[in-house]
A and B are shown apart, each in its own frame.
Chain A
Amino acid sequence: MAVISYREALRAAMREELKRDDKVVIMGEEVAQFNGAYKVTEGLLKEFGPKRVVDTPISEAGFIGLGIGASMLGIRPVMELMFWSFSYVAFDQIVNNAGNIRYMSGGLINCPIVIRGPANGGTNVGATHSHTPEAILASHPGIKVVCPATPYDAKGLLKAAIRDNDPVYVMENTILYNDKGEVPDEDYIVPLGVADVKRVGTDLTIVAHGRAVITSLKAAEILEQEHGVSVEVVDLRSIRPLDEETILASVRKTHRALLVEENKPFCGVDAQVAYLIQSRAFDELDAPIHRVSSIDAPQIYCKRMEDQQLPDVNRVVREALKVLA
């Protein structure tokens, strides 16, 4: 086991898949010569050359669409979006083309594309650059969405995504890029659709994804230390496919659920999770389900206020105590 950063884990996943399969191509703005706007693809051009690692113009609709087209013929493009916020100029390609082509062709055409990049707030860059579209995209059948929270999951999920025959959209988080964690030296994948119990507990289930998992783990620690509460933290890892059984098993054990995400609340991922719990484990619940999400407004620029807008440890602790009351 090596201890590497989330960024290095993503890079290792791409490196290994570039080696394993010569159909894998890395493409995006500044990914090659500049080594990546966030240095995720650093060194890949040098190692694999310009046929495999390709810089694009600022033409997301064009190059993402091109990647989708190439994937239809068996190429496995791993497209970087500098921010998922920029996916909105390529929305038609991402949703209408990648998401529908297999269905509309009666299963004749597959679309094994991966699109990856950061999708997070918290970096003081304002509303246009802080979108978290996992719920929007996952609401389209035909599309798969994953949100890794740790280096281990980042590497395993990205490798699984690259080998997957459907469009998989990997949503990373710039604030996590420097986080370190243990990652095996040998080849492994994290299958899509498998949640991970990141902390075992008995009194309350927190369901989270992405950086909200890290926030929830910190809150769980405080709840244990200061309030003597045993919290289980379920990391969804994958939004669609969604591991319903792991969520339900945890709730059946703790009988209380708090859902935490960095999305805005309306139609967020946790709206679906809350529905799931009440429909399949209603009788197990000892208290209403609560949610913590971002304050419902476009992302504010002011950093001090943005930190309040996003779910923070204090808010999660406060809300957890309400569920436990």
Chain B
Amino acid sequence: MAKPAVLTHPESLKRPAGPSEYAKDPVNASMSKAEKIALYTKMARIRHFEQRCIRIYQQGKIGGFLHLYVGQEAVAAGTISLLGKHDHIITGYRDHGHGLMVGMGMNECMAELTGRVTGCSQGKGGSMHYFAPDKNYWGGHGIVGGQAPLGTGLAYAVKYMGLKGSCLAYMGDGAVNQGAVHEAYNLAALWDLPMIFVIENNGYSMGTSQERSTAHPGCLAKRAEGYGMAWDVINGHDVYEVRAKTAIALKRAHEESKPTVLEIFTYRYFGHSMADPDKTYRDKEEIKEYREKKDPVLAFEQELLREKVLTAELSQQINDAAMAEADKAAVFADESPDPTVADITKHIYWEEDNRGPDTTSRGTIIFE
């Protein structure tokens, strides 16, 4: 396999973690104290929500696949914190962090995981299929890479309607090898769509390291050059850097209607999903190294402590509140009812759910 001569990684990733050199970037410097605290709070909420999920999964109340976002919080937090009214997002199955960032409640998120009718998708979607279109969040997609064309379509619609907006489509380092992603790249570039493809590069696709899955000229984002698209690489352990560099892409989308590929280097602390024993393809040492030296939530806490935006007490309060909120969500999920058998055949067709004098089709549409 062709090994790249030089790996293109963000400069900051090569240095030991320390004060962020992006703190002074205008998008960060212009944040109020309250906004910074709110951003930190959101990251802490993702962390505690996910950790609470582990316990519920272990109690057998969450089934199927559960892909956790722990370690990757700064990616969703940094990018989504910049978005406005006409900016949309879409992602894969590792979708809880994005959901909480756009403002979904822990209750509806937790209840979805346990399959309750009070869940965001009424117990029909599950962990991999969160949706909140009212918050410009278009899912939650289980098929690797499938969201890339959809996101491109959202960007197309935004442009079509003459709105100053964009779409951010998130995917993993493994997803970049799906044909649909390449077709979406081409369309976004060809039609000058206000699109940002965000590659959340956590180094692995299931048990396959990036080197074993992907032929690449230095980094994954660089494939954008083949389509004449702008690209950048970002240290995903530093939420300020994520914001600073995403802001440039967002400006490009809003002002020039041009797409960008962003590769954000990050790391997942748990197995691919809860079904992955995580024993064979990476060292415990590697995980420890990331947890101890590059943790995005801790790093931002430190940053804000240094800036005297946070105090140790306030941080404690924020974390305690996030844990309490996750506990409450777990109780809510427990106490919520299941969907019913009659619900199984609802929400299949708009027309079936909206029968009235104006609906026109005839014939059997749901079969026995």
Interface residues of A (CB under 8 A from B): 29-30, 33-35, 37, 55, 57-62, 85-86, 88-89, 123-129, 264-266, 295-298, 300-305, 308-309
A35 to B207, alpha carbons, bound, how many Å? 10
Q: Does B85 contact A (CB under 8 A)?
A: no
Interface centre among B116, B146, B344 (most CB of A within 10 A): B344
A58 touches B178 (CB 8 A): yes
A30 to B128, alpha carbons, bound, how many Å? 20
A295 to B344, alpha carbons, bound, how many Å? 8
A301 touches B208 (CB 8 A): no
Chain B residues, CB < 8 A from A88: 143
Interface residues of B in 265-316 (CB under 8 A from A): 280-281
A-B pairs with CB below 8 Å: how many? 136
A298 to B366, alpha carbons, bound, how many Å? 11
Chain A residues, CB < 8 A from B281: 33-34
Chain B residues, CB < 8 A from A57: 174, 177, 205, 208, 213-214
Q: Does B345 contact A (CB under 8 A)?
A: yes
A126 touches B143 (CB 8 A): no
A302 touches B339 (CB 8 A): yes
Chain B residues, CB < 8 A from A309: 344
A125 to B63, alpha carbons, bound, how many Å? 8
Chain B residues, CB < 8 A from A33: 207-208, 212, 280-281
Chain B residues, CB < 8 A from A308: 341, 344
Chain A residues, CB < 8 A from B121: 301
Chain B residues, CB < 8 A from A124: 63-64, 115, 126
Pairs of residues from A and B, 10 with the lowest C-beta to C-beta distance, nearest first: A302-B115, A128-B142, A301-B126, A34-B207, A124-B63, A124-B64, A302-B123, A57-B177, A125-B64, A126-B126
A30-B207, A55-B208, A57-B213 given; A303·B144 CB < 8 A: no
Q: A305: which of B207, B213, B338 is its contact (CB, 8 Å)? A: B338
Interface string of B116-131 (1 = CB under 8 A from A): 1000010111101100
A300 touches B179 (CB 8 A): no
A57 to B125, alpha carbons, bound, how many Å? 26
Chain A residue nearest in CB terms to B123: A302
A305 touches B206 (CB 8 A): no
Chain A residue nearest in CB terms to B143: A128
B64 touches A301 (CB 8 A): yes
A129-B142, A295-B345, A308-B344 given; A37·B63 CB < 8 A: no
B368 touches A85 (CB 8 A): no
Q: Does B175 contact A (CB under 8 A)?
A: yes
Q: B123: which of A123, A265, A296, A305 is its contact (CB, 8 Å)? A: A305
Chain A residue nearest in CB terms to B180: A89
Chain A residues, CB < 8 A from B142: 125-129
Chain A residues, CB < 8 A from B280: 33-35
Measured CB to CB, the closest approach of chain B to A314, in angstroms, equals 13
B179 touches A30 (CB 8 A): no
A59 touches B179 (CB 8 A): yes
Q: Does B254 contact A (CB under 8 A)?
A: no
A62 to B215, alpha carbons, bound, how many Å? 14
